[in-house]
Structure 1
Amino acid sequence: MHNKFLLATLIIVFPVLGFGQLLQAKNNFTHADTLRGSDNAQRNWWNVLHYSISVNPDFETKTIQGKVTIQYAVVKPVTTMQIDLQQPLEVDSIVQHKRILYFTRTNNVIFIKNTIPHRMGFHDSITVYYHGRPREAVRPPWDGGWIWKKDSLNRPWMSVACQGLGASVWYPCKDYQEDEPDNGATLTIIAPDTLMAVGNGRLIFTGNTSFNKKIYTWQVVNPINNYDIIPYIGKYVNKRDTLLGAKGLLTLQYWVLDYDSSIAWQQFKQVKPMLRAFEYWFGPYPFYEDGYQLVQAPHLGMEHQSAVAYGNHFKNGYLGRDLSGTGWGLRWDFIIVHESGHEWFGNNITTKDVADMWVHEGFTNYSETLFTEYYYGKEAGTDYNVGSRKNILNDKPIIGPYGVNKEGSSDMYYKGSALIHSIRHSVHNDVLFRKILHGLNKVFYHQTVTSAQIENYINQHAGFNYQYVFDQYLRTTQIPVLEYQMDSVNHSIRCRWSNCLPTFNLPLSLWNPPGEHIKIYPTTNWKTISIQKNQTDLFRSALVERLYYVKTKLLH
């Protein structure tokens, strides 16, 4: 990070912000940023079908040796091929059909100019051999790289955290979020035979080597984000379980350090209730074929698909704290809930460009509200959501610049959640709202998307076009203000939106426990609306601001 003091402040004040490594100020972009963040001519002619990764780490020297076979399909006329591998890792050779390919390198980008030309639709592969001392993560997961730690018994404990920084920090790949391997990946880890190596999906092979090492090969059959493919190496023990879920029997596996097993098995009892709640709200767990794993990690946590990283010290809340300040966040383990919520938003539905990462983080942050509501009631969920808003900065727009591997504001978490909460209550139909969440995960199942696609889907199915609402919350920093006057004599309200885009038009549904309900459609122009005498109490500022992320101003 360019500003370590700012980073430390963010971690203390807003600890949930950014489990990836992109939260740094950057206004001027270079050609290297474009190469990293765009679907350029060296990338868009080939589609990744499968990664076969093999890595052999050496704990003492903090080095790795590896090879990656990239299977791909030709989708456009062949040009130079771009492969990403971050320095100081070095490429030893690149091979295709036993032929060594010529390549050049510019910083973190390798250009291959003599791949075998094929007609469109043809499938082929290349194998990259590499080695070196990868960038080491100093404060994972807030900064990225390979993690070389020791457990409390002084035994090696290794992993990787690389969201944002990119998977190319430890293996060569097309490090571009839009192109996930259609047919999944295999990860072969060569580890000391005194340790266990865990990867994504299912263990399909174990074997011994000389030099007191053991081989573990893990496989995922579903598309997967590059940064989700992660090795975990430590003195792990395992517990297996199953859940009868929406698509049948889901296998569950928990991996923890041996001395933490007793406390871990107790804490991980929260996994099944979490999965039941999320299958209710979002639809079936998206990766039944690969199973669900929760893996103790040498950092706080990350949404690694089918092998979720867990480092919350077996405490409820966020390291024992409630980020909402309401008390509800201490009823459940933040990392189990939040990082698993990403299996639906972030892993099942993945944004093509990190500029649209609010789709990952806003919906997953809202999953915390929905989990709380599922077990403790709707008012409890709303309490949690409203309490979390104190973390909103409104420093810059949520959506970032496209094509340069740069996200927008960290408000993608809490403000993204507040946006979804506002639209939900505007719709005032939880059956429809839940149907929309299911529909998103069904229509965009295992796909990469744009924010516009998600916005359009909601607009088409919510019974109202919320485009100007999305524009307000995603693309500006203003908090809309509802200005209103009450006329008790004529039983009317005069109102308008201010401090917002001129087109902002969020409809407000307001109700109370006795069953009074009204829906109004304010715009930025003054509008007089007739109301019933018993509906006056619905226009309390506290009620409006509880249901919607807005401010109110009562005029006299």
Structure 2
Amino acid sequence: MRKIISFALIFLLTENVFAQKSQHSLFPHTTPVFTHADTLRGSNTPWRSWWDVTYYDLHVRIDPADSSISGHNGITYRVINMPGARVKTAGGNDIMQIDLMTPLVIDSMIQDGQSLSYRRDGNAFFVTLQNPQMVNSLQTLTVYYHGKPRVAKRPPWDGGFIWDRDSLGNLWIATACQGVGASIWWPNKDYQGDEPDSQNICITVPDTLVDVSNGRLRKRTINPDGTMTYDWFVDNPVNNYDVAVNAGKYVHFMEIYNGLKGPLTLDYYVMPYHLREAERQFQQAKSMLKCFEYWFGPYPWYKDGYKLVEDPYLGMEHQSCIAYGNHFENGYLGGDLSHTGWGLKWDFIIVHESAHEWFGNSITSKDIADMWVHESFANYAESLYTECLFGKKAGEEYCIGTRENVRNDKPIVGHYGVNDEGSGDMYYKGGNMLLTIRSIINNEEKFRDILHGLNTVFYHQTVTGKQIEDYISQASGIDFSKVFEQYLTTTRIPEFDYYIRGHQLYYHWSNVVPGFNMPLKVTLKGTDFSFIYPVEKWKSEKINLTDADQFKVNDNFYVTLKRVKP
């Protein structure tokens, strides 16, 4: 007889287990408080883990008159767990978790013509399925909903729906929901570790507006009520938070980029009064693609194309549909995040957000605690683009310059299973960690092969941070485990302590994790840099310098330097 465990008991036990797992040893000095809702949002709960999304068929009608939306999502999924491994009701029915945030309301859930019962727990809905859910079978659940979605307070960082007006007073509507989650505006399995293989996105807006969403436009339908429906299709796996609405009085222009996989369409949607500026500024897209295809491999979405879409907020890496709001000027809103001048030579949003097409969209972290996989690589991509345009030294200077922005407020890796991002240092500190790793590898061809390899082995996949760390160590032939532990899980920058006595250099690492053994390039003779291999214990090395002040550590290594007394 199959053992049936009560739904309520499993719910309580699982919540406790997930909460305990999230308090991992990376945070020994903090006592974060996570809630039941955090666990439901951030973990692969028992009501999510038994099914795998294969397709979303999303239909949303947008009504600007009262800032409301309504629609439905057909969720097609494959059953992947045996019945005995699933949480069921006392009557033996399977239970599925669907996510939709307040104040939005689910009207009904339908499967095979049957209206199903469900209960709400905050932003999670638990629906009781009536049909047998056979392993490997494909099933579809259609969720109907409506309401007024949460308005974004400070997009893209505090996301939601954006109801705005362009400079001529026309409606301008958009979405941005990374971090907070796509369920802020449409019902789905809001877990970053599961993506559909493809997705349909049908958006209905007033017929005075043009909607631009992900993928390729299949058709437009003129409706008798003064609205227009835009039917977009994404022919690839896609992150939930990347699915986007961009509705405005857009004009469109395009060009073709001949890339590694052949012709790639580049489509641009902007306000009419910005057309000339966009035609000039968006020329950078081609040099960006050429650079990133060199370093990372082919653009991941040739089937879906590449788009830049002007939006009423700074920008976002919506897959194949990059949101752009950088005012058609170089830098980051006209500033230079590196404080070196190099950051004013190119458009930050075009470069950084497009880098996410490789790291973030094609390679996606299963848990946002590992968002460094997205942001550290996208940050370092800025340096690589600078290098493509102006040479290696310029790229290094750009990356090193961003160290001024590091806060070391908390670890880069967040808590797992509770929808917790780590420190914003995943950008600048993470990028400098990658520059350090590149310098240790000390082989340009091998480093580029590693970046290509990541985008081949993990192409269109969700991953853990550990998988990325292990791949880099394996492909380089160097154990970087302590380097990752130091930079990602602590707030400490390695300190290189040294003193010179005669022709002997004495040195060791301090302020590091146990077993830290990162190689370092220093000047031992003249101005040339040589590798030494510090550990926590003091070591010594012969040195041949005319003056102790000639001793230097290579700037590409993100460490602090301290000369101590013998």
> TM-score, normalising length from structure 1?
0.92
Aligned partner (choices 180, 184, 188) of residue 169 of structure 1: 184
Distance (Å, rounded) in 2 between the aligned partners of 1:548 and 1:360: 21
Paired residue secondary structure (1:320): coil
Write the mapping of 1:400-419 to structure 2, written as runs, cut at 5 A.
400-419=414-433
Distance (Å, rounded) in 1 between the aligned partners of 2:388 and 2:498: 34
Task: Tell whether 2:214 aligns with 1:205.
Answer: no
Task: Tell whether 2:254 aligns with 1:240.
Answer: yes
Q: After the TM superposition, which of the residue ranges 303-312 and 187-196 deviates more from structure 2?
A: 187-196
Distance (Å, rounded) in 2 between the aligned partners of 1:507 and 1:137: 46
Write the mapping of 1:300-319 to structure 2, written as runs, cut at 5 A.
300-319=314-333
Cα distance change, pair 187–512 in 1 and its aligned pair in 2 (3 A): farther
Shift in Å at residue 240 of structure 1?
Answer: 1.3
Aligned partner (choices 313, 332, 348) of residue 362 of structure 2: 348
Cα distance change, pair 436–319 in 1 and its aligned pair in 2 (3 A): same
Shift in Å at residue 115 of structure 1?
Answer: 4.3
Cα distance change, pair 202–493 in 1 and its aligned pair in 2 (3 A): same
**Is 2:525–2:544's contact at 8 Å kept on the other side of the alignment?**
no
**Is 1:324–1:388's contact at 8 Å kept on the other side of the alignment?**
yes
Write the mapping of 1:110-121 to structure 2, written as runs, cut at 5 A.
110-121=125-136
Shift in Å at residue 539 of structure 1?
Answer: 3.4
Q: After the TM superposition, which of the residue ranges 38-47 and 374-383 deviates more from structure 2?
A: 374-383
Shift in Å at residue 408 of structure 1?
Answer: 0.9
Counterpart in the other structure of 1:11: none
Counterpart in the other structure of 2:536: 524
Write the mapping of 1:133-212 to structure 2, written as runs, cut at 5 A.
133-181=148-196, 183-212=197-226
Per-residue displacement from partner, 1:413-445 (whole Å, max 9, x unpaired)? 111111111111111111111111111111000
Task: Tell whether 2:39 aligns with 1:30.
Answer: no
Cα distance change, pair 70–379 in 1 and its aligned pair in 2 (3 A): same
Per-residue displacement from partner, 1:272-319 (whole Å, max 9, x unpaired)? 000111111111111111110011111100000000000001010001
Paired residue secondary structure (2:283): helix
Shift in Å at residue 118 of structure 1?
Answer: 2.2
Distance (Å, rounded) in 1 between the aligned partners of 2:335 and 2:342: 10
Cα distance change, pair 505–216 in 1 and its aligned pair in 2 (3 A): same
Aligned partner (choices 458, 466, 473) of residue 444 of structure 1: 458
**Is 2:214–2:321's contact at 8 Å kept on the other side of the alignment?**
yes
Report the residue type matching 1:117 in the other structure.
P
Counterpart in the other structure of 2:45: 40
- What fraction of aligned residue pairs are identical, expressed as a percent? 52
**Is 2:524–2:545's contact at 8 Å kept on the other side of the alignment?**
no
Counterpart in the other structure of 1:3: none
Shift in Å at residue 495 of structure 1?
Answer: 0.9
**Is 1:146–1:170's contact at 8 Å kept on the other side of the alignment?**
yes
Write the mapping of 1:45-124 to structure 2, written as runs, cut at 5 A.
45-76=50-81, 77=83, 79-124=94-139
Aligned partner (choices 284, 299, 302) of residue 298 of structure 2: 284
Cα distance change, pair 424–511 in 1 and its aligned pair in 2 (3 A): farther
Aligned partner (choices 480, 483, 490) of residue 469 of structure 1: 483
Report the residue type matching 2:290 in the other structure.
R
**Is 1:141–1:161's contact at 8 Å kept on the other side of the alignment?**
yes
**Is 2:498–2:508's contact at 8 Å kept on the other side of the alignment?**
yes
**Is 1:201–1:218's contact at 8 Å kept on the other side of the alignment?**
yes
Counterpart in the other structure of 1:421: 435
Per-residue displacement from partner, 1:505-538 (whole Å, max 9, x unpaired)? 1111347999934111110111112345699887
Per-residue displacement from partner, 1:392-415 (whole Å, max 9, x unpaired)? 111111101100000111111111
**Is 2:236–2:301's contact at 8 Å kept on the other side of the alignment?**
yes
Where structure 1 has 5 or more consecutive residues not aligned to the other structure, the ranges are 1-24
Distance (Å, rounded) in 2 between the aligned partners of 1:252 and 1:496: 52
Shift in Å at residue 483 of structure 1?
Answer: 1.0
Shift in Å at residue 342 of structure 1?
Answer: 0.5
Shift in Å at residue 127 of structure 1?
Answer: 0.7
Shift in Å at residue 83 of structure 1?
Answer: 0.1
**Is 1:134–1:170's contact at 8 Å kept on the other side of the alignment?**
yes
Aligned partner (choices 264, 267, 282) of residue 250 of structure 1: 264
Where structure 2 has 5 or more consecutive residues not aligned to the other structure, the ranges are 1-29, 87-93
Per-residue displacement from partner, 1:184-208 (whole Å, max 9, x unpaired)? 1111011111111111010011111
**Is 1:517–1:535's contact at 8 Å kept on the other side of the alignment?**
no
Cα distance change, pair 167–512 in 1 and its aligned pair in 2 (3 A): farther
The number of residues matched between the two structures is: 526
Report the residue type matching 1:474 in the other structure.
L
> TM-score, normalising length from structure 2?
0.90
Paired residue secondary structure (1:441): helix
Report the residue type matching 2:316 in the other structure.
M
Cα distance change, pair 486–442 in 1 and its aligned pair in 2 (3 A): same
Q: After the TM superposition, which of the residue ranges 75-84 and 41-50 deviates more from structure 2?
A: 75-84
Paired residue secondary structure (1:547): coil
Per-residue displacement from partner, 1:123-175 (whole Å, max 9, x unpaired)? 01011111000101122112111110011111110010100010000000000
Counterpart in the other structure of 2:505: 493
Report the residue type matching 1:525 in the other structure.
K
Report the residue type matching 1:69 in the other structure.
G
Distance (Å, rounded) in 1 between the aligned partners of 2:525 and 2:166: 52
Report the residue type matching 1:245 in the other structure.
G
Aligned partner (choices 523, 531, 551) of residue 539 of structure 1: 551
Cα distance change, pair 514–193 in 1 and its aligned pair in 2 (3 A): farther
**Is 2:496–2:561's contact at 8 Å kept on the other side of the alignment?**
yes
**Is 2:524–2:542's contact at 8 Å kept on the other side of the alignment?**
no
Report the residue type matching 1:280 in the other structure.
Y
Task: Tell whether 2:555 aligns with 1:550.
Answer: no
Report the residue type matching 2:118 in the other structure.
F
Cα distance change, pair 256–341 in 1 and its aligned pair in 2 (3 A): same
Cα distance change, pair 27–529 in 1 and its aligned pair in 2 (3 A): same
Distance (Å, rounded) in 2 between the aligned partners of 1:534 and 1:422: 28
Distance (Å, rounded) in 2 between the aligned partners of 1:451 and 1:173: 24
**Is 2:518–2:533's contact at 8 Å kept on the other side of the alignment?**
yes
Write the mapping of 1:239-388 to structure 2, written as runs, cut at 5 A.
239-388=253-402
**Is 2:524–2:551's contact at 8 Å kept on the other side of the alignment?**
no
What RMSD, in angstroms, separates the aligned Cα atoms of the two structures?
1.8
**Is 1:303–1:340's contact at 8 Å kept on the other side of the alignment?**
yes
**Is 1:516–1:535's contact at 8 Å kept on the other side of the alignment?**
no
Paired residue secondary structure (2:40): helix
Per-residue displacement from partner, 1:338-395 (whole Å, max 9, x unpaired)? 0001001100110000000011001100100111111111111111111111111111
Distance (Å, rounded) in 2 between the aligned partners of 1:449 and 1:534: 51
Distance (Å, rounded) in 2 between the aligned partners of 1:197 and 1:448: 28
Distance (Å, rounded) in 1 between the aligned partners of 2:533 and 2:548: 16
Paired residue secondary structure (1:143): coil
Counterpart in the other structure of 1:217: 231
Report the residue type matching 1:550 in the other structure.
V
Counterpart in the other structure of 1:14: none
Cα distance change, pair 72–426 in 1 and its aligned pair in 2 (3 A): same
Per-residue displacement from partner, 1:460-517 (whole Å, max 9, x unpaired)? 1122101011101111111111111234x44x32210011112111111347999934
Distance (Å, rounded) in 1 between the aligned partners of 2:535 and 2:258: 48
**Is 2:204–2:227's contact at 8 Å kept on the other side of the alignment?**
yes
**Is 1:64–1:132's contact at 8 Å kept on the other side of the alignment?**
yes
Per-residue displacement from partner, 1:17-66 (whole Å, max 9, x unpaired)? xxxxxxxx992111111111111110000000011111111111000011
